[in-house]
Amino acid sequence: MRIVFACLSLCTLSACGLSPMYAGGGSGAVAQSMAAIEVAPIEGRAGWLVRSALEERFGAAGMVSPQYRIDVRLDDQLEGLAVLRDDTISRERRTLRARYQLVDLATGEILLDATDGSDAGIDVVSSEYAVIAAEQTALQNLSQDLAQRMVTRIALALRRQGDAAQ
């Protein structure tokens, strides 16, 4: 009886309409569309980090001629959170937000207009060097996290566009 139930469950699962995002691996439709994205220059150190992370992820399927461009504007904020009695800051929060648009180069149509962000807490200690190092490490980690969020959202948009075209 359990075997029959398991077989029926597998049959209904295959009919649910779910399919892998990156079906076909590097030669699949989504991966090829992602490889065809050109990342426009982004201002500042955070921009360089985010752009490098995006190019690394988009280029995973190989190089093809660009069909899309992603325009990104970043907002990098560093603010003090915990203030001690002597007016010194003991904790900071670094926030990295991105507003980005995926543009079809052939038509100029904006396929995706979105925002994403990430933040991290930083302990402020007596060593100024340690605080600067922590702030830079937080920026690197936030850049990687933000790039991954953007790539996921872009992949979903490209998949929807591919599904709509079919």
User: What is the reported pTM?
Assistant: 0.78
| Run of H or E residues at 158 | helix 128-165
CB neighbour burial string for 41-75, b if at least 16 within 10 angstroms, e if fewer: ebeeebbebbbebbeebbeebeeeeeebbbebebe
Residue 11 lies in a domain: no
Average pLDDT on 103-107 reads 92
The percent of residues above 70 in pLDDT, for the chain, comes to 77
pLDDT at residue 140 above 90?
A: yes
Residue 117 domain flag: yes
Q: How far apart are CA 59 and CA 62, in angstroms?
A: 5
Number of domains in the chain: 1
Q: Confidence band (pLDDT; 50, 70, 90) for 27?
A: low
Q: Which of 166, 152, 90 is nearest to 118 (CA)?
A: 152
Dihedral angle at the C-alpha atoms of 49, 55, 57, 60, nearest 10 degrees? -150
30 burial (CB, 10 Å; 0-12 / 13-18 / 19+) is buried
Alpha-carbon gap, residue 163 to 161, rounded angstroms: 5
The residue ranking higher by pLDDT, 42 or 21, is 42
Is residue 48 a contact partner of residue 57, using CB atoms and an 8 Å limit?
A: no
In a domain, 15, yes or no: no
pLDDT exceeds cutoff 60 at 99: yes
Is 126 within the bounds of a domain? yes
pLDDT in tens, 58-82: 875 556 788 899 999 999 999 988 7
Listed range (42-56, 84-98, 118-132) with the worst mean pLDDT:
84-98
The region, left, alpha or beta by phi > 0 then psi within -120 to 50, assigned to residue 44 is left
**Residue 13: inside a domain, yes or no?**
no
- 64 in a structural domain: yes
Confidence of residue 18 (pLDDT cuts 50, 70, 90): very low
Domain CATH code at residue 85: 3.30.160.150
